[in-house]
Amino acid sequence: MNEQRIPLKQLNPAQESVVRDATQAAIAPDTSRVGPGRRVSLNFALSLESGEDIENNLQDAPLNCVIGDGSLLPGFEAAMHGMCAGEGLDVVLAPEQAFGMPNEDNVQRFPLYRFPPDMELSKGLMLSFDGKGDYSQTGVVRDFDARYVTVDFNHPLAGRALRFRVRLHAVE
């Protein structure tokens, strides 16, 4: 293909403006829309499909975070991708877009003697297990008997579809 190039100085001022704007749009990402690295200010509510609120800051001060910094789940960020300040969203996210599906490898069975003798175990009890360094892992007692305690380390909302509502106040 034979391509003819026209030096920018041969364009009239109106043509220069169009070329300049198009070039800038191609080079500079749209900073007015939600995308990786953008600082956002938002209010949100997270609930089960049944309507039971899990977390709701719609009536509170907005949350400020940077997209991709780990403050929000990747599925929430993906749902907001491309939104502009002033927009809202109300969407139901599949478990894979929220906290994932439960993984049976995350269910562990421990001998009862590894727990303090005065601990009152009950199904649903949340426990924190210390790991190496400052690392700790939260688990939920799924079951127990006279010899073993079964602890589920999956997120409590794993396997659940979630309703995500958001009001976007600012994108920087």
DSSP character for 52? -
Sequence-ordered list of residues with C-beta below 8 angstroms from that of 8, at least 6 positions apart, any chain: 16, 19
Residue 24 has phi, psi (to 5 degrees) of -60, -40
User: Mean pLDDT over all residues of the chain?
Assistant: 86
pLDDT at 82 over 90: yes
Query: pLDDT tens across 2-55, in order?
Result: 444 444 444 555 555 555 555 555 444 556 899 999 999 999 999 998 889 999
pLDDT at 27: 44
Mean pLDDT for 127-150 is 91
What integer pLDDT is reported at residue 134 of this predicted model?
81
76-99: average pLDDT: 94
Of the candidates 126, 117, 41, the residue with the CA atom closest to the CA atom of residue 85: 41
Pairing of strands 39-48, 88-93: unpaired
pLDDT of 112 above 90? yes
Cα Rg of the chain, angstroms: 25
Beta-carbon-side half-sphere exposure of residue 39 (alpha carbons within 13 Å): 3
Task: Please give the average per-residue pLDDT across 133-153, as a whole number.
Answer: 93
Rounded CA-CA distance 142/52 in Å is: 22
pLDDT at 7: 44
- Weakest-pLDDT range from 118-122, 133-137, 162-166: 133-137
pLDDT at residue number 49: 87
User: Which one is the CATH code of 104-152: 2.160.10.10, 3.30.420.40, 2.40.170.20, 2.40.10.330?
Assistant: 2.40.10.330
DSSP string over 71-109: SS-HHHHHHHTT-BTT-EEEEEEPGGGTT----GGGEEE
Q: Region 102-110: what's the mean pLDDT?
A: 96
Delimit the domains of the chain by residue range.
39-100+158-171, 104-152
Whole-angstrom Cα distance, residue 35 to residue 37? Answer: 6
Q: Which of 142, 144, 145, 54 is nearest to 106 (CA)?
A: 142
pTM beyond cutoff 0.85: no
- Between the two ends of the chain, the Cα-to-Cα distance in Å is 42
Which fold, 39-100+158-171?
Answer: Chitinase A; domain 3 (3.10.50)
Q: What percent of the chain has pLDDT over 70?
A: 82
